[in-house]
Amino acid sequence: MSLSSPYPDLDELLATVGEAGQRLSEINASEGAAGNISICIGWPMEVRRRFPVCRSIKLPHVVPALAGHVVLVTGSGRRLRDIPADPARNLCAVIVGEDGESGWMHTVPGAIFENPTSEFNSHLAVHADQVERSGTNFHAVIHAQPPHLTYLSHIPEYRDEAVLNRRLLRWEPETIVNLPRGLGVLPFILPGSPALMQATIASLRAHRVVIWSKHGVMARSDVSATRAADRVEYAETAARYEYMDLVNHQRAEGLTREELHAVVDAFGIETELLG
């Protein structure tokens, strides 16, 4: 899927990143400076008026597919909850060079961070993979640390994708409607590492949210940053129900397989999760 013109302008895009950051903060998925957001824009966009300070950087991952794209990304150490008040101060605009190896990092004067987020390699790699595969002209990626999902990933049996999806889909009809491909699950992999980046690319081909076990999640959308944040919220809400049921001695019924089939049929959802 691609966005069609008239395209959102820079201020509108910055505002949606702020909205997404605010919501992730409200659901306790971004304690301290945890979490980061980026959006990849495939149409021409002037960023120098808003971000007049510019320096050349080496990208943490080579992305020829993104040559000429603009990536708005949160700065290292910035807090997601601070973005709405002043998006330009908490983000930078990276223009990817023609070689896909270097880029121009644009910031406001007196920027309060040195570099993009330390997870920028995974953000870039997922954007490039999705742009290459689907030809989309817009892509949003969020890393957040929702506590219930992350807690469940500490329990070995929930690191089995089939088990996790079966247990999380059963709490409200919205879950399968909004996450028809379910959640991917990765084992614990060192944050910011090439191994995490590679595993994330692969999992986000099949899913729109992937759990980084014992750490958090990464979610994507080709519509908006807020849509990606919604996906984190739907997944975290399901995990909260699951957690409630565990501490309440598993007394709940949950949606039955038949009830889930009825939801899928009524809403015309294509899913392979129900077998």
Residues binding Zn ion (CB under 5 A): 216
DSSP-derived secondary structure letter, 32: T
- Sign of torsion over alpha carbons 176, 179, 180, 185: negative
* Shortest Å distance, C-beta 218 to Zn ion: 9
CB nearer Zn ion, residue 35 or residue 182? 35
Least distance CB 200 / Zn ion (angstroms): 12
Phi, psi of 46 (to 5 degrees): -85, 120
CA atoms within 13 A on the CB side of 88: 15
Q: What's the closest the beta carbon of residue 186 comes to Zn ion, in angstroms? A: 13
Report DSSP state, residue 209. Answer: E
Closer of 18 and 216 to Zn ion (Cβ): 216
DSSP 41-92: E-S----TTTS-EEEEEE-SS--GGGTT-EEEEEBTT--GGGTTT-HHHHEE
CB of residue 118 to Zn ion, shortest distance in Å: 9
Q: Which is nearer to Zn ion, 42 or 216 (CB)?
A: 216
User: In the bound complex, what is the minimum distance in angstroms from residue 191's beta carbon to Zn ion?
Assistant: 6
Nearest-approach distance from CB 98 to Zn ion, in angstroms: 31
Residue 207 CA to its chain's centroid (Å): 11
Q: Over the Cα atoms of the chain, what is R_g?
A: 19
The smaller minimum CB distance to Zn ion, of residues 119 and 242, is found at 119
Q: How many other CB atoms sit within 10 Å of the CB of residue 55? A: 10
- Of 65, 22, 11, nearest to 40 by C-alpha is 65
DSSP code, position 38 = E
- Cβ proximity to Zn ion, 103 vs 216, nearer residue: 216
Identity of the residue, 70 or 219, whose beta carbon is nearer to Zn ion in the bound complex? 219
